[in-house]
Structure 1
Amino acid sequence: MKEVSIRTEYIELGKFLKLADCISTGGQAKFFLQETVIHINGEADNRRGRKLYAGDKVEVEEHGMFVVTRE
């Protein structure tokens, strides 16, 4: 499981995907989320604006498991 560290209280899913190197630009998030299965804490969710907090576990199909941590 890879750790993705944030400095703010939360991060939106679209921004998280870029930070986790699942996509190369923020503009790709909408299309990526339409085509890729993502589970957040065990539940499927593809909302680009979904807020992720420290401790959340994110599973991205074909990219692996991530956990959100806070600096």
Structure 2
Amino acid sequence: MKLDQFLKWQGWVATGGEAKQLIQSGQVFVNGSVETRRGRHLSSGNRVRLGTDEAVFVGNASTGP
């Protein structure tokens, strides 16, 4: 799953445009590092954080902290 799709799937953003803006402005972290590529493919176990929200990508599903 791509990072922008994951943000929408989590319900953290309403649109792809909103996801793109947040990612490109450096507000999204993957495994503790800023990620600015909205097309970044997530692997199982990747931790994604936006503000105070954090989730772990697990294949086609995720779980919160």
Percent of aligned pairs with the same amino acid? 33
Can you give the 5+ residue segments of structure 1 that lack an aligned partner in the other structure?
1-10
Contact 1:14 1:29 in 2 (8 A): yes
RMSD: 1.7
Residue correspondences, number: 60
Cross-structure match for 1:21: 11
Can you give the 5+ residue segments of structure 2 that lack an aligned partner in the other structure?
61-65
What is the CA–CA distance in structure 1 between the aligned matches of 2:59 and 2:2, rounded to whole Å?
14
4+ aligned runs moved over 4 Å, structure 1: none
Cross-structure match for 2:38: 48
User: Which entry has the higher C-alpha Rg, 1 or 2?
Assistant: 1
Post-superposition CA distance 1:15-62 (Å, at most 9, x none): 111001111122322222234511111111121011101110111114
Determine whether 1:66 maps to 2:55: yes
TM-score by length of 2: 0.75
Structure with more of its chain in strand, by fraction: 1
Q: Secondary structure at the match of 2:54?
A: strand
